[in-house]
A and B are shown apart, each in its own frame.
Chain A
Amino acid sequence: MSIEVLQGGLLTTVQDGGRYGFRREGVSVCGALDEFAMRAANTLVGNAPDAAALEITLAGCALRFTQNYFIAICGGDLMPHVAGEAVPCWRPIYVAANSVLDFKGIRTGCRAYLAIAGGLDVPVLLGSRSTDLRAQFGGYDGRALQAGDSLSCLHNGDAAARLREKLAASHTNIQFSFADWFVSANVRPTRAAQTALRVIHGSEFAAFDEPSRRALFEQIFVVTPNANRMAYRLRSDEKLKLVAPREQFSTAVVPGTMQVPPDGNPILLLADCQTTGGYPVIAHVIRADLTIVAQMKPGDSLRFVETTLDEAQRLYRERERTLTQLRYAVRFKMDERT
């Protein structure tokens, strides 16, 4: 059972829910940048939400399925095609053996998640199948996929088999078929041209001068080309300045933390970030909104809006409830006998 990589694309890696429990050893969390999209894709094919999937960035990835597979693609619309025909996202897809799936380019967003029934079969290291690109371990040999690589899947459950049969029966000589139901657009995280990301104060928020604290919430920030899985460097007209220089010790940081180095341009840390950082922390983007950051690319603009700890946690739990509801809905669809 295998999936052959014809082209690795710009950056395609195996990611799951992330690596937890080893932060004291300095191990980064890693995992899917767009948690929601990965979990939705896994749910649509009957996998556990945190099963290993492929995170596909921007463009260029091409895969050949050597057997019939049951897949789903969620997240950014990178224009997936099979045999020249567009493949719809946010719904289960059945692809026939020897189909080639490729991603033609960016329509919206930045990253797409390809989940395959059963989940990707790569070794579990330190409790996770995620790729740690910096420390070069985990996922597929600790690196991005390249032409010539070959992936396999773990055995998938029987509920998926029933849906697969239904989808297979509905295709004649085209190479894929898809369910007529899908994750409704109004439960997917939304993105606008100028997205406001919700943040809560960082421990050094008060150490920044008054104009900087105002500027954080009033001005537009742009994602610079220096943007990757570790962090997005942002740029704005007004730089963020401390009231007075201070000695900064290394402290714990998490994905979503916004540090400000001496040049005044904030750095928004993401999944592959280090466990500690030495710059003052002005704010943290809430976990529920990291899914929006994951779909931003260099040149995109954004702004920040303040929220509370309670609201941040409520939004995250609401997001998880949506995924639980999706899980029940998919299970129902899989068990349908028609």
Chain B
Amino acid sequence: MEFSIHTLGDFAFVVRFPNSSNLVARRAAASLARHLDSSHTPPSVVECVAASGTMTIFCDPLAWRAATVFKRRDVSVSHSPSPEDFYNLLRASLDELTRDDGDAIANNDFMRCTIELPVCYGGEFGADLEFVARHTRLAPEQVIELHTGGDYIVEMIGFAPGFPYLGGLSPLLATPRRATPRLKVARGSVGIGGTQTCVYSIASPGGWQLIGRTPVSLFRPQVSSAPSLLRAGDRVRFRSITPQEFEDAHEIVTAQE
């Protein structure tokens, strides 16, 4: 499996799998991230983040030369580990991951949880539902049906804490982002942007088309073990609820915070 490495600033590297299909690339990136995150973590690595077929390795600038960077080989102190050194480490790690079982990457438990999010569609909760319906030449009810009928996968978490980019949106629902972003999108808003769908995990400016809102909290800073409800690789489904159900659930969620 081929990959390339680029520096990201002066203390991080991005690994890309350019020739792999999207799914294989995602799985390879996730495997590598987990491999480096486990007992094989070199002392200089702070964290690894897998996203959409890339993996980013963030390094601790002070541990860089103080300790052996890789357990597999000593790095001479006369120079900092170069992209080439990292390439060799990752090559070795990938080879090890696929050595015993050629399908180790294909079969890993990359797909994790399935989370069902209740969403109240339209009205004050989804100000752009009518626009999306007109753009896609569907009735609003059909938009909701197609959206709730989908099986989505979290491609990555970015843009904001806990904010998921979801793949798997029906092509029939694809709608370009708003020409002028809104100054404030309410937390929990469900959006369509191009061929992806998302959920705003925090209140923020935003340009996606808003079709509904979920009362579920996608970002909980008090939960240090898992501040983001969703992680790359999780599956997501949506379920339609009434405004009353939204209010009831929202009251419970905010009382807990």
Contact A252 B52 (CB under 8 A): no
- Find chain B residues with CB under 8 A from A126 CB: 221, 224, 227
Of the stretches A53-61, A111-119, A134-142, A218-226, the one at the interface is A134-142
Known: A275-B158, A316-B61. A26 touches B228 (CB 8 A): yes
Instruction: Point out residues on A near B: beta carbons under 8 Å.
Output: 20-28, 125-127, 132, 134-138, 200-201, 203, 249-257, 274-276, 284, 286-287, 309-310, 312-313, 316-317, 320
Question: Given A24-B50, A25-B227, are A312 and B158 also a contact pair (CB < 8 Å)?
Answer: no
| Residues of B1-38 whose CB lies within 8 A of A | 6-12, 14
Q: Which of B47, B80, B82, B203 contacts A23 (CB 8 A)?
A: B47
- In the complex, are the beta carbons of A200 and B54 less than 8 A apart? no
Closest 10 CB pairs of A and B: A276-B158, A25-B228, A312-B10, A252-B56, A284-B9, A137-B221, A24-B49, A203-B6, A26-B157, A254-B9
Bound together, the chains give a CA A201 to CA B232 distance in angstroms of: 28
Check A250/B51 contact, CB under 8 A, given A274-B158, A316-B61. Answer: yes
Q: How far is the CB of A77 from chain B (nearest CB, A)?
A: 28
Q: Is B184 an interface residue when CB atoms closer than 8 A count as contact? A: no
18 of the cross-chain contacts (CB-CB < 8 Å) are A21-B47, A23-B47, A24-B50, A25-B161, A25-B219, A26-B219, A125-B224, A126-B221, A126-B224, A135-B221, A250-B159, A252-B12, A252-B49, A252-B54, A284-B10, A287-B10, A316-B61, A317-B61
Extra inter-chain contacts (7) besides given A26-B201, A252-B12, CB under 8 Å: A24-B157, A25-B157, A125-B221, A250-B51, A250-B159, A276-B156, A287-B9
Q: Which B residues are in CB contact (< 8 Å) with A274? A: 158-160
Q: Contact check, A249 vs B10: say whether CB atoms are below 8 A apart.
A: no
The distance in angstroms between the C-alpha atoms of A97 and B62, with both chains bound, is 39
Q: Is the CB of A200 within 8 A of B9?
A: yes
A276 vs B12: C-alpha distance when bound (angstroms): 14
A interface footprint on B146-190 (CB within 8 Å = 1, 0 otherwise): 000000000011111111010000000000000000000000000
Q: How far is the CB of A196 from chain B (nearest CB, A)?
A: 17
Smallest CB gap from A137: residue in B: B221
Which of B51, B162, B163, B221 has most A Cβ within 10 Å? B221
Beta-carbon contact of A26 and B159 below 8 Å: yes
- B19 CB to closest chain A CB, in angstroms? 15
C-alpha spacing A13/B224, complex, angstroms? 22
For residue A137, which residues in chain B have a CB less than 8 angstroms away from its CB? 221
Decide: B162 and A25 in contact? CB cutoff 8 A: yes
In the complex, which of the residues A254, A255, A310 has the most CB atoms of chain B within 10 Å of its own CB atom?
A: A254
Say yes or no for B70: interface residue by CB 8 A criterion.
Answer: no
Residues in B neighbouring A203, C-beta threshold 8 A: 6, 8, 14
Which residues of B line the A interface, CB within 8 A?
Answer: 6-12, 14, 46-52, 54, 56, 58, 61-62, 64, 79-80, 82, 156-163, 165, 201-204, 219, 221-222, 224, 226-228, 231-232
Most A CB atoms within 10 A — which of B52, B79, B227, B232?
Answer: B227
User: Considering the chains assembled together, what is the distance between the CA atoms of A253 and B54 in angstroms?
Assistant: 13
CB distance from A292 to the nearest CB of B (A): 15
Distance of A254 Cα from B58 Cα, bound (Å): 10
Are B10 and A313 closer than 8 Å at their CB atoms? Answer: yes
Q: A20: which B residues are within 8 A, CB to CB?
A: 46-47, 58
User: Which single member of B8, B201, B228 contacts A252 (CB below 8 Å)?
Assistant: B8
CA of A138 to CA of B232, assembled, Å: 24
Please indicate the chain B residues that have their CB under 8 angstroms from the CB of A252 in the complex: 8, 12, 14, 49, 51, 54, 56, 158
A275 neighbours in B (Cβ, 8 Å): 49, 157-159
> Is A287 a contact of B11 with CB atoms below 8 Å?
yes
Complex: A25 Cα to B13 Cα, angstroms = 18
**In contact, A254 and B61 (Cβ under 8 angstroms):** no
Closest A residue by C-beta to B6: A203
Please name the residue on chain A nearest to B61 by beta carbon: A316
Q: How far is the CA of A21 from the CA of B228 in the complex (A)?
A: 13
**How far, in Å, is A88 (CB) from chain B's closest CB?**
30
Tell me how far the C-beta of A217 lies from the nearest C-beta in chain B, rounded to whole angstroms.
18
B59 (CB) vs chain A CBs: closest residue: A313
**A136, B221: Cα distance in complex, Å:** 10
Set of chain A residues within 8 Å of B12, measured between Cβ atoms: 252, 254
Q: A312-B10, A313-B80 are in contact. Are A125 and B157 (CB under 8 A)?
A: no
Bound-state CA distance A251–B12 (Å) is: 13
Point out the residue from B7, B79, B80, B226 that lies within 8 Å of A200, measured CB to CB: B7
**Bound Cα distance A286, B11 (Å):** 9
Greatest chain B CB density within 10 A among A203, A251, A253 is at A251
Instruction: Give the residue of A21, A135, A255 whose beta carbon is less than 8 angstroms from that of B161.
Output: A135
Set of chain B residues within 8 Å of A22, measured between Cβ atoms = 161, 227
Which residue of chain A has the shortest Cβ distance to B10 in the bound complex?
A312
CB distance from A252 to the nearest CB of B (A): 4
Which residues of chain B are within 8 angstroms of A250 by Cβ–Cβ distance?
51-52, 156, 158-159, 165
How far does the alpha carbon of A43 sit from the alpha carbon of B248 in the complex, in Å? 50
In the complex, what distance in Å separates the CA atom of A124 from the CA atom of B189? 28
CB closest chain-A residue, reference B222: A125
- Is A276 within 8 A of B51, CB to CB? yes
Q: A249's contact among B48, B52, B56, B162, by CB below 8 Å, is which?
A: B52
Task: For the complex formed, measure the closest distance between the CB of A321 and the CB atoms of chain B, giving whole angstroms.
Answer: 10
Q: Are B9 and A23 in contact (CB under 8 A)?
A: no
Q: Which residue of A lies closest to B226 (CB)?
A: A25
